């Protein structure tokens, strides 16, 4: 390199250093981040719940072994970074994953973090009965045991290779729990290692967190705390945000129509619309008559006008799909040409003719209509599609009555299969088939709300999980997804889109674009008031 080139290079380096230094100096410490919340979380225990109402407010209390980089919008294998683990290695046969752990981490109560806490966490996840409920047990069914060689070394031993395991561990649903705090206490007074400490959870009021002044990441968090305030009515929440009562909306709360209102009423607000990784779907308890009749379940799936849902609820911006998040947002979703070939995804009129014929075979018709309750969660994102569903069911001699249930009891009822027909929103914490298939469709899984059980399909779930060739796995996933739709395993209505909004004084926010269940630790967020 000549002298001119060396001079240019030196100037460039100095400029970059200056930019990064300015960025580092720009952050301000202090202030409370005020965020809206939709409803009362059923508990504070992430490992025992399956709703974003819990994941968002309590994620900042915890750390994982690894995590998705919160400054990268799209979760992927390439964005996985160390967290409580400093590094990791796979065994040659792909059946053991070893982590080296940080030595400078303490729990919020001052006790040291060690490999024993990782072992205890997996003991909870792999056992039956130690957690009140265990939604992610299906994720880790391939983990045979967890061992440690000293206090800062831990190994997950697998029954078979599972390339996706690292992504599962990076989810916000995979925090490490402390050995010394019983699961009952984690529901109301959780203890973590994360950037924020628990203060209180009050029914119908909100959640308060305070800064962890001994956080193991130097200089983090910038915020003094976070307050989530519960406002039941969504219109009221939006007005409260546009009037600057809050710094940020609940991260999954702003629909396409509401986003237009915010941009009119608060044009300075910063908003990100993205795929949520949440599917609106019909769940039917096939153990309860008359829904034990496959003809009725098939008829209910065939009457769905998916495009009508999409047009009404999201002004055409949501996407039609199967079990996996539809492209281009998702990596594994069925291509459009395959989706259109599945019964119920084509011409609605033809599908409804078949549906009415099936209902007639089951003994129902214009003179004998089936009366049911359609249960759903008492928030707008659930109620609105439930109303449309009831209208669609009328086309096939089914009269539905809407039953709205508060979040604090809704999931208890769904987990216990204490419903007949429900309109549900089911999210996937990671855009990977291992999460979706094992959690939502495998025999005996807690979140298999429809009680779908096909042992042959479960074997196919395992086969795709072990496949290391990406193209081969992709084809296997498409075939499985198509079969799930043909089996009416859990009729998928649409893949949702929603926005999060915040005022300009909130800095450092990165909204993850393919899952609403990750990225809410807020350790890099700061306020420039």
- Considering only CA atoms, give the Rg of the chain: 24
Asked if 285 and 450 touch (Cβ cutoff 8 Å), the reply is yes
pLDDT single digits (tens) 158-191: 999 999 999 999 999 999 999 999 999 999 999 9
Q: Given the structure tokens 């290779």, which residue do they identify? A: 161
* Bridge-based pairing state of the strands 153-158 and 85-90: unpaired
Q: Chain centroid to CA 400: how far?
A: 29
pLDDT at 154 over 70: yes
Which helix (H) or strand (E) covers residue 399, if one does? strand 398-405
Residue 170 Cα distances to 77, 139, 428, 442, angstroms: 9, 12, 13, 22
Phi, psi of 504 (to 5 degrees): -60, -20
Q: Give the pLDDT band (50/70/90) at residue 200.
A: very high
pLDDT mean over 437-450: 94
Sign of CA dihedral 64, 74, 521, 218: positive
pLDDT mean over 200-226: 97
pLDDT in the model for residue 408: 83
Instruction: State the average pLDDT for the chain.
Output: 93
Q: What angle do CA 150, 156, 162 make, to 5 degrees?
A: 160
Domains of the chain, start order: 46-192 (3.90.76.10), 275-497 (3.10.105.10)
pLDDT in the model for residue 4: 37
Q: Chain centroid to CA 81: how far?
A: 19
451 CB-near residues (< 8 Å, 6+ apart): 285, 286, 287, 417
Beta-bridged to residue 495, according to DSSP, are 279, 319
Maximum CA pair distance of the chain?
A: 93
pLDDT at 24 over 70: no
pLDDT in the model for residue 116: 98
Residues found in the chain: 529
SS3 per-residue string spanning 214-226: CCCCCCCCCCCEE
Q: Give the pLDDT band (50/70/90) at residue 454.
A: very high
Q: Give the pLDDT band (50/70/90) at residue 315.
A: very high
């Amino acid at each position: 390199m000549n002298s001119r080139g060396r001079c240019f290079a030196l100037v460039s380096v100095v400029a970059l250093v200056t930019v990064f230094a300015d960025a580092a100096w720009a952050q301000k410490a202090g202030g409370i981040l005020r965020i809206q919340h939709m409803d009362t979380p059923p508990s504070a225990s992430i490992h025992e719940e399956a709703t974003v109402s819990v994941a968002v407010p309590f994620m900042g209390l915890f750390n994982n072994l690894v995590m998705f980089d919160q400054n990268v919008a799209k979760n992927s294998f390439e964005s996985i970074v160390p967290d409580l683990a400093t590094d990791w290695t796979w065994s040659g046969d792909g059946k053991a994953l070893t982590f080296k752990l940080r030595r400078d981490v303490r729990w919020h109560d001052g006790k040291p973090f060690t490999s024993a806490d990782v072992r205890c966490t997996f003991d909870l996840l792999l056992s039956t009965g130690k957690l009140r409920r265990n939604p992610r047990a299906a994720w880790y069914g391939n983990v045979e045991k967890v061992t440690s060689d000293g206090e800062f070394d831990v190994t997950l031993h697998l029954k078979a290779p599972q390339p996706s395991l690292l992504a599962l561990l990076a989810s916000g649903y995979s925090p490490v729990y402390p050995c010394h705090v019983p699961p009952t206490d984690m529901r109301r007074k959780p203890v973590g290692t994360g950037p924020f400490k628990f203060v209180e959870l009050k029914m119908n009021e909100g959640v308060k967190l305070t800064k962890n002044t001994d956080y193991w990441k130097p200089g983090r968090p910038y915020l003094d705390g976070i307050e989530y305030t519960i406002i039941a009515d969504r219109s009221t929440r939006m007005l409260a945000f546009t009037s600057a009562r809050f710094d940020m909306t609940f991260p999954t709360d702003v629909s396409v129509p509401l986003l237009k209102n915010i941009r009119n009423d608060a044009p300075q607000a910063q908003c990100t619309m993205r795929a949520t990784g949440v599917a609106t779907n019909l769940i039917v308890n096939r153990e309860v008559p008359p829904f034990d009749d496959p003809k009725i379940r098939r008829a209910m799936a065939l009457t769905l006008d998916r495009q009508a849902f999409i047009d009404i609820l999201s002004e055409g911006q949501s996407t039609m799909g199967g079990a996996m998040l539809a492209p281009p947002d998702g990596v594994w979703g069925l291509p459009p040409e395959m989706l259109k070939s599945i019964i119920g995804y084509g011409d609605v009129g033809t599908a409804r003719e078949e549906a009415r014929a099936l209902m007639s075979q089951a003994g129902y018709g214009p003179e004998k209509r089936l009366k049911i309750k359609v249960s759903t969660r008492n928030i707008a994102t659930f109620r609105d599609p439930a109303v449309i569903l009831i209208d669609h069911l009328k086309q096939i001699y089914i009269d539905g009555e809407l039953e709205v249930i508060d979040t604090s009891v809704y999931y208890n009822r769904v987990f216990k299969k204490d419903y007949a027909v429900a309109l549900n929103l089911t999210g996937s914490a990671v855009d990977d088939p291992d999460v979706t298939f094992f959690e939502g469709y495998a025999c005996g899984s807690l979140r298999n709300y429809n009680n779908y059980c096909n042992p042959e399909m479960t074997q196919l779930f395992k086969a795709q999980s072990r496949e290391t060739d990406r193209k081969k796995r992709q084809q296997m996933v498409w075939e499985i997804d198509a079969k799930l739709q043909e089996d009416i395993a859990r009729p998928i209505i649409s893949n949702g889109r929603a926005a999060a909004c915040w005022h300009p004084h909130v800095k450092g926010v990165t909204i993850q674009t393919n899952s609403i269940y990750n990225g809410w630790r807020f350790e890099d967020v700061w306020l420039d008031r």
